[in-house]
Structure 1
């Protein structure tokens, strides 16, 4: 069974305003890059369905869903906006936000449907990955939490054990706390330490509560962590988590904002990491979950220089394609290069001429390695 790719232009309508850093044009740019390079064919693409309100209520509170509906109609009282996380610059309201947000959740559920029905083992839906959404509150650019809904959908309707993998620079707090007290889902998040970055959670001591103790796995890496250290602790810890939990299926959130050119974080990953991360997950899915892997998008705020090339690697990994080298397709460059207000990349791999030497590299590597050993010890205790 070949992998499938969920896409439709309706997924680009999740848009706060023209100045907001969360810009879904990166989904279209990635799709255009894959198409121009010949890696994505029309027969690979499936259209998303819209999530139902009933499906949103698998994880979201009824009063919150109603608040989002009213906010998108301009009828939610200002006194309630803040309590639902809909005030301020991060997650402001926009017209018809309930319906447009349902499309993103529905896209991820479309991916789930294809896998559980046996139409594909691996499906990519880049419009999703809104991991900061809580059961009753919007947060961090995220209104509804598509991954959390998809996980509960798989649990309730198909009885699957799900392991959630989050490699975004920001901690996957919304997904973690949705399943914090259950041992039927394992959440795994490797991210920049919350000492310097939103949302400030995700320490190694956040291990779950009640029956879920031990089933929340967090690896907060130090600022300026680079490829070698990140990849080493990622592969080792994730494989151990999978072996311990024995999931039926993997769902991975693939934020690419840990890239050294991302304007919102302090990590130092290059294209090397984003070539390897999905190939590690692909290998582990083949080895431990019969290839069942759903991948979604997430963070990534340098849409010109970073996101399309890095996200394209997820689709290529699903096909066991080696990372391409050399010039990007002429059609892609012609379409976007002139529109970019920054120097537009012309190669698949990073040009590292602007990469700065990592401060305290040895100290950071040793600190991350020490954290890995603690996590491995925790996993042994489950």
Structure 2
């Protein structure tokens, strides 16, 4: 293993653009990369482009008829077929949609290859994490499921156990669906409760097919959950399951839409807690997967104030050059933000918080606390399948 982190980047990923007014504004990707560069992290990481995923790779997860439908809509958006989730308000068709989506998928697949082959210790594709796409349909701003494709490629290369951790505010439903019957994959998703947020799935009772019982893990967090509860839930579920599962590689999805400023959801997590979870994922990869870590982006619609800082912290952690939270944001980057958006960017790499949480194992279960109820529901549903006490 080289020990050096890779950053997957090609400016063409900003072509993944659903058009004016859509929440998935590609400026969030460009601004993240400019902030990475402003901190010199592109010099601390190997910046690598990758070819778009070809059809044989896409078919690791997606059906051929769906790929054909994406190609048709990409050539002529008027041909978009809503039965494939295309041409909808969430996933409007655009010229070049297949190429942009396949490029993002190719970046995540290449990240998985580099980590598995020992060409890099860690690899980041913050343009990826498009976790809602299903084998036969687009959904939730996601056309091709690069996260599932990265996991599938690891399996194809010989991995016997791969763990996927998803901390996006929305349930990682597409990745769960792709591996529902596969005991080689453990999918863990912490997300806002399906009663209050798209896609309406991710109940603790969703635990995998009979032949892969306990392979799907869902923590459904009450709306309004903030730093202390989010971190408590993560640490009450993830480390014990990884220790029992013993993954050979870790793929993580770091949607920034858990943030209290995000306009599409209802959790109240800070940038500082997001950074702590990224640090925990890094540590868990070293503890349980020989350091093999593929880190992806995901949702996040506070495209100036939150997303670039959150994913720059992610890159810095992967590079072994963590940015101190109180660090001032480079002024040149703030001017670039204003030039592109007519907004002034944030001034520091922190929300000014120092998140703390109570450990579930030592503090005890509070039956009147909705968060603890959610944690216990998950542990009861899946822990026994892994030989663990709930």
**TM class by smaller structure:** over 0.9
Deviation string for 1:16-64 (max 9, x for gaps)? 1122111222122111112112233176211122111100011101111
Q: Distance in 1 between matches of 2:224 and 2:329?
A: 28
Q: How far 1:212 moved relative to its partner?
A: 1.6
Matched with 1:366 is 369
Is it true that 1:31 corresponds to 2:33 in the alignment? yes
In structure 2, the gaps of 5 or more residues are 354-365
TM-score after normalising by structure 2: 0.90
- Are the structure 2 counterparts of residues 75 and 14 from structure 1 closer, same or farther at C-alpha, using a change threshold of 3 Å? closer
In structure 2, the CA distance between the partners of 1:330 and 1:239, relative to structure 1 (3 Å rule), is same
Q: CA deviation at 1:175?
A: 0.6
Q: CA deviation at 1:113?
A: 1.7
Q: Is the 8 A contact 1:229 1:365 kept in 2?
A: no
Residues 4 and 45, structure 2, Cα contact 8 Å, conserved in 1: no
Please give the secondary structure, in 1, of the residue aligned with 2:89. coil
Provide closer, same or farther for how the CA distance between residues 75 and 259 of structure 1 changes in structure 2, counting only shifts above 3 A: closer
Kindly indicate whether residue 380 of structure 2 is the aligned counterpart of residue 379 of structure 1.
no
Partners of 1:130 and 1:371 in 2: CA distance: 25
Q: How does 1:127-276 map to 2 (within 5 A)?
A: 127-276=127-276
| 1:70–1:76 Cα contact (<8 Å) kept | no
After the TM superposition, which parts of structure 1 deviate over 6 Å for at least 4 consecutive aligned residues?
Answer: none
**Do 2:77 and 2:87's aligned partners in 1 also have CA atoms closer than 8 Å?**
no
- CA distance in 2 between counterparts of 1:75 and 1:271 reads 37
Output the TM-score relative to the length of structure 1: 0.92
Q: Which residue of 1 aligns with 2:356?
A: none
Contact 1:51 1:106 in 2 (8 A): yes
Deviations 1:270-296 (A, max 9, x none): 112111010000111111111110001
- Other-structure match for 2:59: 57
Contact map agreement 2:233 2:375 (CA 8 A) in 1 = yes
Tell me the secondary structure at the aligned position of residue 41 of structure 2.
Answer: coil
Q: Aligned-pair distance for 1:152?
A: 1.2
Q: What is the CA–CA distance in structure 1 between the aligned matches of 2:195 and 2:57, rounded to whole Å?
A: 35
Q: Is the 8 A contact 1:67 1:76 kept in 2?
A: no
1:301-340 aligned at under 5 Å gives the runs: 301-318=301-318, 319=320, 321=322, 323-337=324-338, 339-340=340-341
Q: CA deviation at 1:338?
A: 5.1
Question: SS at 1:381's partner residue?
Answer: helix
CA distance in 2, matches of 1:94, 1:340: 22
In structure 1, distance between residues paired with 2:258 and 2:146: 21
Q: 1:73 to 1:39 in 2, by over 3 A?
A: closer
- Please report the RMSD computed on the Cα atoms of aligned residues, expressed in angstroms: 2.0
- Kept after mapping to 1: 8 A contact 2:162/2:247: yes
Question: What are the residue-to-residue correspondences of 1:98-137 with 2, within 5 Å?
Answer: 98-137=98-137
Q: Is the alpha carbon distance of 1:364 and 1:143 closer, same or farther for their aligned partners in structure 2, counting shifts above 3 Å?
A: farther
- What per-residue deviation string (whole Å, max 9, x for no partner) do you get for residues 100-122 of structure 1? 21101000011112112211110
